[in-house]
Amino acid sequence: MKKTTYLIPLAIFATLCFTAFKRDNHNFELSKQLNIFNTLIKEIDLFYVDTIAPEQIVKSGIDAMLSKLDPYTTYYTEEGSQELKMMITGKYAGIGSLIRFHDKKNSTVIAEPYDNMPAAKAGLKIGDLILSIDGVDVRGMSSDSVSNMLRGEAGTKLTVVVERPGEKKPLTIKIERESIALPPIPYYGTIRDSIGYLQLESFTENCSKEMRRALIEMKGKGARSFIIDLRNNGGGSLTEAIEIVNLFVPKGLDIVETKGKTKRANTTYKTTREPIDTVSPLIILVNGNTASAAEIVSGSLQDLDRAVIIGSRTYGKGLVQTTRELPYNSYLKVTTSKYYIPSGRCVQAIDYSHRNEDGSVARTPDSLRNTFYTAAGREVKDGGGIQPDIEPKGEKITTLLFNLIQDMSIFDYATEYALAHPTIAPAETFELSDEDYEAFKSYLKSTGFNYDKESYKILVQLKKMLSLEGYEETTKAEIEKLEKTLQHNLDHDLTFFAKDIKQLIADEIIKRYYSQAGSIVFAMRDDADLEESFKILGDRKLYKKILSPAEKGKEAKTDSKKK
């Protein structure tokens, strides 16, 4: 008994000593490496044959170091701090337009001026090729470099020279920069059968307040059920995500728990306000580009059985970043914790702490994902994003469509179309005619458009392998037949994929007349996820059935709490 009494404190003391030793050793190693790095920079600066740029070489070293962590831990110089500010707030000072580099023209073009913002007010149009900014020739510059030149302090002026299709001479346009606040909700409204639809693009400051106003307005106009579109929403503010969940669930619920290395990183976030609506049927649309804060909203509403999730599996980002201020107005955006939603699961799909020999990382395989349970007892999984309750079969982007978009052939054709057509039908009814599609096909051939089928590339590799392994003669007939099938036939492909291509062309044309809102309205006309949403919202029994657990789930619910 006495011996045991002495051994327990001794074991505790030994453990504390070992922990302290490990910590001291870690601190020594950190100090040692910093000393080496500091001395190395000085030696290079002193003895390297050419003069070095300290800020560039250190920035390269920092970026290389952070690349060993995760892609969300990022260093921002004083010059780049505006980019960080824009990510957090959705605000910046500039001209208010999307721009894009046009490879064939080796210059940046105006891709979409935002309504009522400086670019649009000054008269810039989609398709304008930027030649110079304040007398500096920007042809050949990257779109990032051009973007930095377009931004600046609100109230400052700049002169942009552009080449506009249909105009013989370049146009000189003077623009006054303004503070730009990107709209987090580009579209909302009451649609089919008293359904309120809202598209949320990002989780920036005060987006929850804007959503609250929009929901109240739609309810006032007769909306009795809602569709919240989070497709292609890459996330943003954790606080805003919780506020948005709170619009649909009661006050006082645990929504997110964050767990990290420090006490500050360990926090439980609850709903703190009275909700707007806890009973109306609710559907959340997601896809593979739905990430971070958007996954918190969709996942929490799924865990609480408050919404039906429709679409494809989300990205799987369960990491939380905070901003740390560094010397000389620089910043570090660093991953400090993982988040866990109401069921207890974390949606993080990639473990960046375990890399393959080549440095790559892989998604968590389905076989290693753990099962958790919603409030009602439905099974949900961790480690791979949010798995929707319903997954309609959406059409995939084929190689031809991808190349048409990347090549900007559709973009250029839409610009020429707009020159020839002063007006078009409303976005709700506009259709690209067969005659116009034939004109597009002729235009495409005149540009010399060509593309490589991925399947044909694989076939070439297969032929090489068959030759190396001695199967060339025995498989010759089959390979020749397959080769003939996969040979380029642009006319055939343009006819076979006509429906999808016409949709892309029509969308690009509509942007030139009705901006982003018109593009959204047009896309809603042929949307598999929306059609599935209408079906479920039109059948209350089906809606309730989806949110009800299977018997197996009910039985397993008690076991899940033991994990």
Considering the chain, what is the average pLDDT of its residues?
Answer: 88
Predicted confidence (pLDDT) per residue in 500-521, tens digit: 999 999 999 999 999 989 999 9
Q: Residue 342: its pLDDT value, please? A: 97
Question: In sequence order, what are the beta bridge partners of 259?
Answer: 338
Question: Is the model's pLDDT at 550 over the cut of 80?
Answer: no
Q: Do the beta carbons of residue 203 and residue 320 sit within 8 Å?
A: no
Q: Which amino acid is at 501?
A: I
Tokens of 73: 């831990």
pLDDT band, residue 188 (cuts 50/70/90):
very high
**Choice among 317, 333, 381, 511 that is catalytic:** 317
pLDDT confidence of residue 554: 45
Residue 21: per-residue pLDDT? 56
Model confidence at 126, pLDDT cuts 50, 70, 90, reads: very high
Mean pLDDT across 360-373? 84
Mean pLDDT of 373-386: 94
Residue 165 corresponds to which amino acid? P
Q: How far is CA 390 from CA 153, 196, 384, 531, 556, in A?
A: 47, 20, 16, 12, 22
- Confidence (pLDDT) at 344: 96
Multiple choice CATH, 187-389, 3.40.190.10, 1.10.260.40, 3.90.1150.10, 3.90.226.10: 3.90.226.10
Strands (E), 358-488: 371-373, 379-381
Helix (H) or strand (E) holding 225: strand 225-229
Q: Is 214's pLDDT higher than 70?
A: yes
Mean per-residue pLDDT, 439-458: 80
Read off the amino acid at residue 198: L
Residue 535 among the catalytic residues: no
| 382 classed as catalytic | no
Q: Which of 30-34, 136-140, 150-154, 481-485 has the highest mean pLDDT?
A: 136-140
Q: Comparing C-alpha atoms, which of 150, 293, 280 is closest to residue 227?
A: 280
Q: The whole model's pTM is what?
A: 0.83
pLDDT of residue 152: 86
Strands (E), 230-368: 254-260, 267-270, 282-286, 308-311, 319-326, 330-340
Residue 354 has pLDDT above 90, yes or no: no
Active-site residue identified among 292, 300, 330, 519? 292
Tell me: the pLDDT tens digits for 262-313?
888 899 999 999 999 999 999 999 999 999 999 999 999 999 999 999 999 9
**Percent helix, strand and coil across the chain, each to the nearest 5:** 45, 20, 35
pLDDT at 83 over 90: no
- Contacts from 276-279 at CB under 8 Å and sequence distance 24+? 276/212, 276/215, 276/216, 276/219, 276/247, 276/248, 277/215, 277/219, 277/226, 277/247, 277/248, 278/248, 278/249, 278/250, 278/306
Statement: residue 2 has pLDDT above 80: no
> pLDDT confidence of 557, banded at 50, 70, 90?
very low
**Catalytic site residue from 303, 305, 389, 529:** 303
Q: Which CATH class is domain 91-181?
A: mainly beta
pLDDT digits (tens, 9 = 90+) for 136-155: 999 999 998 999 899 888 89
Task: Tell me if residue 351 is catalytic.
Answer: no
Average pLDDT value for residue range 26-37: 89
Looking at residue 556, its pLDDT comes to 42
The domain locations on the chain are 19-72, 91-181, 187-389, 399-453+488-537
CA gap 234, 315 in Å, rounded: 9
